[in-house]
Amino acid sequence: MSRSASARVIAGNAAVIALLLAIAGLLLRLHLGENWWLAAPLPARRWIALAALLAYAAGCAALWWHARPRQDDSTEAGEPPLLVVWASQTGFARQLAEHTAQSLRDGGCRVRLRALDQVDAALLGGTRKALFVASTTGEGDPPDHALAFLGQVMRQAPPLPDLHYAVLALGDRSYEHYCAFGHRLDDWLRQHGARPLFDTVEVDNADPAALRHWQQLLGQFGDGSVQADWSAPEYQPWLLRARQQLNPGSVGGPVFHLRLQPADGDLPAWQAGDIAEVGPRHAAGAVEHWMRTHDLDVRTTLADGRALREVLAASKLPDTLDSSAPDAIAAALQALPHREYSIASLPSEGSLHLLLRRQAHPDGTPGLASGWLCDDAAIGGRIDLRLRANANFHPPADDAPLVLIGNGTGIAGLRAHLRARIDAGARRNWLLFGERNHIHDFHFGDELEQWRREGWIERLDAVFSRDGGAHRYVQDALAAQADLLRQWVDDGAAVLVCGSLQGMAPAVDAAIAQALGEERKEQLVMQRRYRRDVY
């Protein structure tokens, strides 16, 4: 039971005891007169007794209301609630599932929360979206309470063609069978026709970076809002050295190439496929406007010497203030959630490169993080950033052929992989890339064409949806080369996909399944030869 639930139980018991004592005090007055056992109750006493009875009934009703089960949101006609399932040995997976459910509710989703042993085939069959938080204990074993699900559900063969799911797998990398139960659950769901919303997220010893990644992915549900980080990243200071728009004149959103370096010391190590977590900030003008609106001097400093406007810049700006004292305001602030970006370079290139599109709200105003990075962050100014290892998207063996598929700014992660292949001397590389217009949107196009001429890219298929070519989207180009894809896979190729989760990723997945067959595609997944970094 959570601390808040325990507090409610204690408060409820205390209220009942207090109510019973009050009733006893009222009844005690009946004993004070002579022959009380013979006398009929006076009218006033009847009303007192009735009031006490009603108060007791109201207290019981209130306790029932607060103690009623709340793990299910009401089921309404139409789309069933999103199912969040936990399998936990020590309670940590359950805690994460509860955080997950609350984040989804805050985003406007209806949620049903269940332990795995409370899930049966009928519940899965009637669910459209499900998130599983599954821990592994010992040498690859499931939690004890999950055994009922293994024996009663996983031994069945219920078809789940309408289920979309994702798995957060908890484990300890020091064990041989790392995150084994999470992967076993993922494999079983795939084999029964369920379709993954995104790839399994592995968490090594409660790694906060992996949990922040999971939380970032939750933003695709509900109203799309990203909630406050469960654990704040420990950022390091970096400096923005250069920023260039790559697609002036494009019908799509502006795309910018950023180059950063650490404020102090040498470049840290990272691999192709790793992620940069950036702590966004409000534009200076927006912070100063907020401070003037709340009658605060923009020169205000805190007791520790920090400028209040600097603290506000990295925090959610509240609509109202409970105090006008600067230190009280700062103490009540909530940090802005981080944003994730694929790294487009390697340490050997001397700086960290990012590629991002300036996002826009429906009213045309720029997104918080992308607007700040693309428009407001000063060249030479500080960027809060930390690196996150993304083992699921690390390079395959150098001697294996590699098929790289992506669209839009997804070329960033693919470019890092190509750079790593060139450094390793691996030439068997096939890149399929899609965007809008060749003349405006072929990001890194000159460099990619040079690598193709030099033999580092064996095949380059670039398609542009607005140019009227033979293939409109990258999945169309892939489907047209089904025979070649089968040949590369027969030769041991790995397939990496990077780009948009909506549209491109599922369409590419369908094209791969059509070319290889669903069973062989799933074999690639289990062999770790088909990996995705989609967002």
* Rg of the chain over all Cα atoms, to the nearest angstrom: 29
> CB-based burial of residue 454 (10 Å sphere; 0-12 exposed, 13-18 middle, 19+ buried)?
exposed
Judge whether 287 and 294 are in contact, CB under 8 Å.
no
pLDDT in tens, 155-191: 887 899 999 999 999 998 878 889 999 999 999 999 9
Which residues are paired to 494 by β-bridges? 402
pLDDT at 38: 47
> What number of other Cβ atoms are within 10 A of residue 422's Cβ?
16
Q: In which element (H, E) is residue 116 found?
A: none
pLDDT at 259: 98
pLDDT at 496: 97
Q: What is the dihedral angle through the alpha carbons of 90, 221, 197, 82, rounded to the nearest 10 degrees?
A: 60
Q: Which region, left, alpha or beta, applies to residue 504 given φ > 0 means left and ψ of -120 to 50 means alpha?
A: alpha
The pair of three-digit structure tokens given for residue 313, joined into one six-digit string: 């810049």
pLDDT at 227: 72
pLDDT at 48: 60
pLDDT at 376: 95
Provide the whole-model pTM: 0.72
User: Helix (H, G, I), strand (E, B), or coil: what is residue 479?
Assistant: helix
Cα separation, 429 vs 474, in Å, equals 16
Do you know the residue count of the chain? 535
- 60 alpha-carbon distance from chain centroid: 40
pLDDT at 187: 92
Residue 509 neighbours by CB under 8 Å, 6+ apart: 497, 521
CB-facing half-sphere around the CA of 211: CA atoms within 13 A: 22
* Residues of the chain below pLDDT 50: 1-7, 9, 34, 36-38, 64-71, 74-75
pLDDT at 67: 41
Q: In which element (H, E) is residue 529 found?
A: none
Which residues are paired to 166 by β-bridges? 131
pLDDT at 51: 62
pLDDT at 229: 80
pLDDT at 11: 58
Cα separation, 156 vs 141, in Å, equals 20
pLDDT at 59: 61
The pair of three-digit structure tokens given for residue 213, joined into one six-digit string: 């990644």
* CA separation, residue 359 to residues 23, 275, 406 (Å): 63, 19, 19
Cα separation, 174 vs 530, in Å, equals 24
Judge whether 385 and 259 are in contact, CB under 8 Å.
no
From first CA to last CA, the distance across the chain in angstroms is 35
Judge whether 415 and 434 are in contact, CB under 8 Å.
no
Cα separation, 469 vs 461, in Å, equals 12
